[in-house]
Structure 1
Amino acid sequence: MPIILIPIVIFALYHLEKWLFGNFWDKGLMARLDFVEEAVNEGEKAHLQEVITNRNFLPLHILQVSFQTDRGLTFSEETNSSVSDRVNVTDVFSLGLYEKITRKLELDCQKRGYFSILKTSLKASDLFSPDIRYNTFEQHTNLYVYPAPLSVSKTEVPFRQLMGDVLSKRFLYEDNFTFRGIRDYSKTDPQNMVNWKATAKTGNLKVNLHDHTSSQEVMFILNVDEPGILFERELLEDCIRLTMSLAGRFIEENVPVSLLTNGRDKVTGESIFIMAGASSLHMVSIKRALARIDLEKTLPNSMAELVEREVANVDIENTTFCYISTTRGDDSLKAAGFLAQKSGKLLWLCPLTKDMKQERPENLKIDFKVVIHE
């Protein structure tokens, strides 16, 4: 080949490569991101899997893959990430023709929440030209970070108190027209429960067992209104953790649990109300609902208005209320007062720090208990 043609050939090859890269770089290119775990508890680790596939005859020597998610997830130090109002992550790949690369990123789930990755941005550079090409891929991967369960020492006293109320109502509202069986007499049984025929036959005092008019349930009312301008955000998180921990204990005892909160669902934007249930799947629903509470959003309706509207038709005879709120403002007191008036008494659990005043409501129907934040 004549020397004079070499520059012409190089020039032609350069523009051919540039044209091929510009028109075909993302043909057969796929990027898929998936959280490996569907759900973890606050404080645990999770993993994100990246799968980048290049089904193309063109190699991609420098490919940047970028995505965003909400704050609360911390990626390992090896990952190129930055935090502003969101977490921004950029990963660099080098793919040959018809190559697939899979990476797994480890992350610390430091905060409760519902985390989504909805889009991946790709940026490819050509080695032989300054051209940069961009593309985006939709993603549909989500991670639930459930509230961290509290220790048994934090929940034992309120659990026993609420369980006592549940058992008392079961005793008070038994249906005398439904016979369930016979058991031995105890000192707390009234005389009208004695089965004299069975007593005479066995020689020992026996009493009748009756079914309950309906299943007793515990309804948790969670108020996530801020207690003031300057406060520890962890107090609201303690309210959420306390709700989940107690709900879990009652479901373990097959006691139906329902949930009402003025916290907004991050997905629907509405307040959350979950009907009563006692199955393991019901507990998952409660955990997910609590994980999706967005504390950055506030509801236009007050807690008192929400309680009055949603509790108006609740069967009081078969429901025990538990009010959980760190704020003791007028609206919170009004909500608690309404619940106490409707049910005759109310247990109010109030997470506070050690240096906060422990002022109790004046309403004598409210049993106010402080849960100290640690």
Structure 2
Amino acid sequence: MMLLFWMAILVCMIWFYSRLWERNIQKNAEIIYELPHKPVQEDDQIEFWIRIENKSYFPIPLIHINQLLPEGLRWIYDQQAKQKLSIRTYLLPKQRVRKRYRIRCLKRGYYFFEPVRCVLYDGIGLNEVHIDLPTDTRLLVRPQPMEEEFASFSLTELSGEYILYRWYHGDETRISGVREYTANDPYKQIDWKATAKTRKLMVKEYDTTSQTSIHVMLNLQSHDYFRLGIKKEIVDLQCRVAAAIFLKAQESGFPYGLFSNAAWSGPGVLKIEPNCSYDHLDFLLSLLGKIKSFPSCPFSSVLKKYNDDNISKTNHLIILTSFWNKEITERIGSIIKRGSHVSVIAFPHSQERIFKWKRKYPFTCLKS
């Protein structure tokens, strides 16, 4: 009789421990993802740390974690690329574990990680807890700039076209701002007030009387009805070429901007005014990673707005398109008549249509 009594007490204690363990563990298990802060672009492999923490006074004899990655990312685990990662480990009371993995970024995009599916076991077989832990983790993957052949095509031709419109030296009567000193700057350009404020050697930056601006225009439309027939792989290719043009323009000192009918998080049509700085370059490359792969309006609407707002003989419009029709031809014709220089880079799927129209502007076909 006494044996049965103590056995009943033991069973009650085990049951009570299991219930107490369940209530405590649900609130005190935590998973945090640690991603690099530096910019990431396509084809990069990055270190990815997973921090698993048990904040309770109870042990977790077994924890099973399943994480499904977004479509454009892959785990590199045991020399294999996987979309789903499975982890099994244990945690003592108040213990924290950090595990390192590698992720390969296959495609550009702004990725949100789904909540982590975890299964926690009490170790005695009476209880298991299923919880979804939010990670609040995001990863921006920028496009990998394409080889320079298309960027060089546009900007080299531009220099020859507009050499008479551009001054070799800035006009000293027109100060546009200040920047950090470089080895090629003369001492007379040093701005001592700005140097004293920033504690860095700063020089005056002069504006030019006439300066060429590069306007890159992305057309995501690929059908007469703009919401149909979207091809994400062509959009990704356009973003790679645009990134190469921006890099080349920054190196050459040309102001550059972006116009597009792409859907984005901002209001109205995507329009980023030309500028030339590394902060501007960083912003545009990040924007190319974030834009969605479908248009918000017909491309002809963007051309009309551009025709109304941005015409100048010193503007060079570089159109990256996978679609062409008569209305686009007419809009571009009116832009050319008002003085802007236009170049077109045609992507697969649009080239047959483009050949039907007479052209009076530089034109290049991009091979698939």
Taking the aligned partners of 1:349 and 1:227, their CA distance within structure 2 comes to 18
Taking the aligned partners of 2:207 and 2:229, their CA distance within structure 1 comes to 51
Matched with 1:256 is: 255
* Letter matched to residue 54 of structure 1: N
Matched with 1:135 is: 131
* Letter matched to residue 138 of structure 2: N
Matched with 1:9 is: 9
Q: Decide whether the 8 Å contact of 2:145 with 2:244 is kept in 1.
A: yes
Q: What is the CA distance between 1:271 and its match in structure 2?
A: 4.4
* Letter matched to residue 294 of structure 1: K
Q: Decide whether the 8 Å contact of 1:81 with 1:90 is kept in 2.
A: no
Matched with 2:295 is: 298
Q: What is the CA distance between 1:36 and its match in structure 2?
A: 2.3
Distance 1:254 1:10, change over 3 A: same
Q: What is the CA distance between 1:268 and its match in structure 2?
A: 5.0
Taking the aligned partners of 2:174 and 2:64, their CA distance within structure 1 comes to 71
Distance 1:216 1:322, change over 3 A: same
Q: What is the CA distance between 1:2 and its match in structure 2?
A: 3.8
Question: How many residue pairs align between the two structures?
Answer: 334
Distance 1:179 1:357, change over 3 A: closer
TM-score (norm 2): 0.78
Q: Counterparts of 1:81-100 in structure 2 under 5 Å?
A: 88-100=84-96
Matched with 1:287 is: 285
Distance 1:17 1:271, change over 3 A: farther
* Letter matched to residue 4 of structure 1: L
Greater displacement, 4-13 / 246-255:
4-13
Unmatched runs of 5 consecutive residues or more in structure 1 = 181-209
Aligned partner (choices 305, 316, 320) of residue 324 of structure 1: 320
1:327 aligned counterpart, secondary structure: coil
Taking the aligned partners of 1:269 and 1:122, their CA distance within structure 2 comes to 39
Q: Report the aligned-residue RMSD.
A: 3.4
Q: Percent identity of the aligned residues? A: 14
Taking the aligned partners of 2:284 and 2:162, their CA distance within structure 1 comes to 20
Deviations 1:144-174 (A, max 9, x none): 2221122233432222112333434326xx9
Q: What is the CA distance between 1:308 and its match in structure 2?
A: 1.3
Matched with 2:47 is: 47
Q: Counterparts of 1:221-236 in structure 2 under 5 Å?
A: 221-226=217-222, 233-236=232-235
Larger radius of gyration: 1
Matched with 1:273 is: 271
Unmatched runs of 5 consecutive residues or more in structure 2 = 176-205
Taking the aligned partners of 1:58 and 1:79, their CA distance within structure 2 comes to 36
Q: What is the CA distance between 1:130 and its match in structure 2?
A: 4.5
Q: What is the CA distance between 1:115 and its match in structure 2?
A: 1.6
Q: What is the CA distance between 1:324 and its match in structure 2?
A: 1.2
Q: Counterparts of 1:172-211 in structure 2 under 5 Å?
A: none
Q: What is the CA distance between 1:225 and its match in structure 2?
A: 1.7
Q: What is the CA distance between 1:97 and its match in structure 2?
A: 1.4
Taking the aligned partners of 1:211 and 1:43, their CA distance within structure 2 comes to 38
Aligned partner (choices 146, 152, 164) of residue 150 of structure 1: 146
Higher strand share: 1
